[in-house]
Amino acid sequence: MSLPVLSNPLARRLFMARHLLLAPPGGSGRGADLRALIGRLGFVQLDSVNTLARAHDLILFSRMGAYRPPALGRLMSRERALFEHWTHDAAVIPVEFFPHWRHVFARFEAGMREKWTRWQGEGFLDQLDDVRAHVARGPITSGELAPEEPRGGPGGWWEWHPSKAALEWLWHTGEITVARRDNFRKVYDLTERVIPPEHLSPRPSGEESLDWACREALARLGFATSGELAGFWGKRMVPPEDAKRWVAGALGRGEVEEIAVEQADGRLRRSIAFPGLSEEAAALPEAGGRMRALSPFDPMLRDRARAERLFGFFYRIEIFVPAEKRQWGYYVFPLLQGERLVGRVDMKASREKPGAAEGALEVRALWPEPGVRWGRGRQAAFMAELERLCRFAGLEEVRFAEGWLRA
């Protein structure tokens, strides 16, 4: 039996709509509007790199032009509408999803105790009670815990001292929670003092959480394989073998159907979708001509292979690539215009002093994608986006390096 085919143009359009990039940015940028946006995305990945703006801030700004970074902090620390934990990476997550994360906590504890003990030694386990007691006295950062302790390795997270490792262990296993971030530094508190009681009490079963996670992932992806469903929230929420089992059951019950999704190269990829997806995609309006600079960690690009299949856009972040081996640059922003990824730009905020309210947006290099002509209209759309980014980042002007437009 042949499967219904979702054409590549409609697949792109639907995928953009599910990731809130089809319509122009709108909304107040704070409070209930911001909370609703994050809920529709499912989560927003956090990242500390700040060449122009932090990844999570740019993700939100790309969809809500009135957004400014303090609004996210208020939503988390004052309104308790979000909590921070792990999906495929560190992320802020709607607090009503918290009951399902109990399975993430349990899987982490079951699967990582031996590895962490090999890494830190038994000493970090010996610190657990002391750290629990310390947090019970009030919110704390890792820097306030035994800074004189010897560290465990050559750099980065390998340098955690035993108390820091104990603190992170308690966070990963759900005993403590990030209450807020101060200058991006985590401030921890007891989970029962952070998560509202109505979200702390429910205890969904493993099967209930699996069903919730797969349905919610499919709703946000539009169409997916079982591997893509598992990858959306991360394998500690949805182990790949459980995703396969859920897909088989949902197909058997007639809750989802198989479709063939046309890729950018014309090949068909077998996926599942809720019934009616093709009709929904056909009814969507076309995207406008606005250009947006996307964070390298944007949800639309998180699954690099999926983005490449749908858009024909190969992208890898080169932060950890030695400078002499980089093809593009340290932190390069993909450029989305209409329903195409049209290029990538290496740019950064340049300020005379860190945190200064003035400075310039420096455009070092821009590479149009193969087949994309960079004419006057596209340059005007690019300049309009740069000006929006300047206002967002508090910069005064745009500066272009010599030879910035590359072949």
| pLDDT tens track for 54-72 | 999 999 999 999 999 999 9
| Alpha-carbon distances, residue 299 vs 46, 294, 318, 368 (angstroms) | 11, 9, 18, 22
Least confident piece of the model among 3-12, 123-132, 157-166, 179-188: 157-166
Q: Is the pLDDT of residue 104 over 50?
A: yes
Q: How far apart are CA 193 and CA 49, in angstroms?
A: 30
At the top level of CATH, the class of 291-400 is alpha beta
| Nearest in space to 333 (alpha carbons), one of 319, 347, 321, 353 | 347
Neighbours of 118 (CB within 10 A): 8
Confidence of residue 373 (pLDDT cuts 50, 70, 90): very high
Least confident piece of the model among 1-10, 124-133, 297-306, 314-323: 124-133
Question: Rounded to two decimals, what is the model's pTM?
Answer: 0.93
Structure confidence by residue, pLDDT tens digits, 134-148: 999 999 998 887 655
Q: Is the pLDDT of residue 159 over 70?
A: no
Secondary structure element (H or E) that encloses residue 166, with its range: helix 162-172
| Nearest in space to 18 (alpha carbons), one of 299, 308, 291, 313 | 299
Confidence of residue 157 (pLDDT cuts 50, 70, 90): very low
Q: How far apart are CA 163 and CA 167, in angstroms?
A: 6
Q: Residue written as tokens 């709509």?
A: 17
Secondary structure element (H or E) that encloses residue 271, with its range: strand 268-273
Q: How far apart are CA 258 and CA 277, in angstroms?
A: 11
Q: Is the pLDDT of residue 391 over 90?
A: yes
Retrieve residue 138's tokens: 């009030």
Contacts of 346 (CB under 8 A, 6+ apart): 328, 329, 330, 331, 332, 333, 363, 364, 365, 366
| Nearest in space to 382 (alpha carbons), one of 346, 336, 339, 350 | 336
Q: How far apart are CA 62 and CA 52, in angstroms?
A: 13
DSSP state of 142: G
| Average predicted confidence (pLDDT) for the chain | 93
Say whether 278 sits in a helix, a strand or coil.
helix
User: CB–CB of 299/19 below 8 Å?
Assistant: yes
Residue 139 carries which side chain, given as an amino acid letter?
P
What pLDDT is stored for residue 153 in this prediction? 45
What pLDDT is stored for residue 232 in this prediction? 97
To 10 degrees, what angle do helices 226-233 and 240-252 make? 130
| Nearest in space to 72 (alpha carbons), one of 132, 29, 41, 39 | 29
Q: Is the pLDDT of residue 355 over 80?
A: no
Say whether 180 sits in a helix, a strand or coil.
strand
What pLDDT is stored for residue 148 in this prediction? 52
Q: How far apart are CA 72 and CA 94, in angstroms?
A: 12
Least confident piece of the model among 105-114, 167-176, 230-239, 246-255: 105-114
334-356 mean pLDDT: 88
What pLDDT is stored for residue 353 in this prediction? 63
Least confident piece of the model among 21-25, 116-120, 191-195: 116-120
Structure confidence by residue, pLDDT tens digits, 392-406: 999 999 999 999 999
Q: How far apart are CA 270 and CA 200, in angstroms?
A: 39
Domain boundaries, the chain: 96-195, 291-400
Q: Is the pLDDT of residue 156 over 80?
A: no
| Nearest in space to 350 (alpha carbons), one of 305, 302, 401 | 401
Instruction: Find the farthest-apart pair of alpha carbons in the chain and give their distance in angstroms, rounded.
Output: 68
| Nearest in space to 29 (alpha carbons), one of 38, 21, 18 | 38
Confidence of residue 47 (pLDDT cuts 50, 70, 90): very high
Say whether 188 sits in a helix, a strand or coil.
strand
β-partners of residue 405 are 366
